[in-house]
A and B are shown apart, each in its own frame.
Chain A
Amino acid sequence: DVKVTQSSRYLVKRTGEKVFLECVQDMDHENMFWYRQDPGLGLRLIYFSYDVKMKEKGDIPEGYSVSREKKERFSLILESASTNQTSMYLCASSLQGRAHEQYFGPGTRLTVT
């Protein structure tokens, strides 16, 4: 079975802090994704990576950056956390190409106070 894990289930940070969210997949998938999920807005893509050190902006990249130094690990970075970044963050992975299923991690509920 594909397994996607995220470093924390719950996280509370203060405004202005630098925040790292980590995602690891164990199925040698080329593609990895970061989404945020908010009530009434659904899932929105923040960033996408299709290979090591390769990244592409999604629909809402402002205020975020990403890092993919190894194939299995994709990190989301909030350089200076703000209260409007309080959300559920979901990581996903898939094989390369457009025909493949996306598999999701358990999510990280981030609260910025």
Chain B
Amino acid sequence: KQEVTQIPAALSVPEGENLVLNCSFTDSAIYNLQWFRQDPGKGLTSLLLIQSSQREQTSGRLNASLDKSSGRSTLYIAASQPGDSATYLCAGGATNKLIFGTGTLLAVQP
């Protein structure tokens, strides 16, 4: 059964720092990997989707990579800003259904 783990559970960085969030999964049969952002008390906002045939996706200051052989995905945030403060979730699946990690709570200090 697919399990998705995110480390660290919480991270605090000063504004302007580049940072990496990690996501590990146990089943290499994963078909896609999706990164989300969640603000407190709100729904999930999709950031990036990487399909199994891809190795990375970029959107603005965000870059996500996928390495199926090692069971890892990373989300790189460049030049972090206080507005990036949120919980970041990764989710992967081999079917229509996604398995979610428990998230990394990011705080960017001004």
Interface residues of A (CB under 8 A from B): 4, 31, 33, 40-43, 45, 48, 50, 58, 88, 90, 92, 94, 96-107, 109
Contact = CB atoms under 8 A, between A and B. Distances in A.
A42 B101 contact: yes
Contact of B97 (A45, A99, A109): A45
28 contacts: A4-B43, A31-B96, A33-B97, A40-B102, A43-B89, A43-B91, A45-B97, A48-B96, A58-B97, A88-B41, A90-B44, A92-B44, A97-B96, A98-B93, A98-B94, A98-B96, A99-B31, A99-B32, A99-B51, A101-B46, A101-B49, A102-B46, A102-B91, A103-B46, A104-B43, A105-B43, A106-B43, A107-B43
B95 interface: yes
Contacts of A4: 43
A90 B49 contact: no
B34 interface: yes
Given A40-B102, A42-B102, A98 B43 contact: no
B25 interface: no
Contacts of A96: 96
A38 B58 CA distance: 30
Given A102-B46, A107-B43, A109-B41, A42 B103 contact: yes
A64 B93 CA distance: 23
The 10 closest A-B pairs by CB, nearest first: A104-B44, A43-B100, A42-B102, A104-B43, A106-B43, A107-B43, A101-B49, A98-B31, A42-B100, A101-B46
A94 B97 CA distance: 10
B8 to A, nearest CB: 15
Contact of A106 (B42, B51, B97, B103): B42
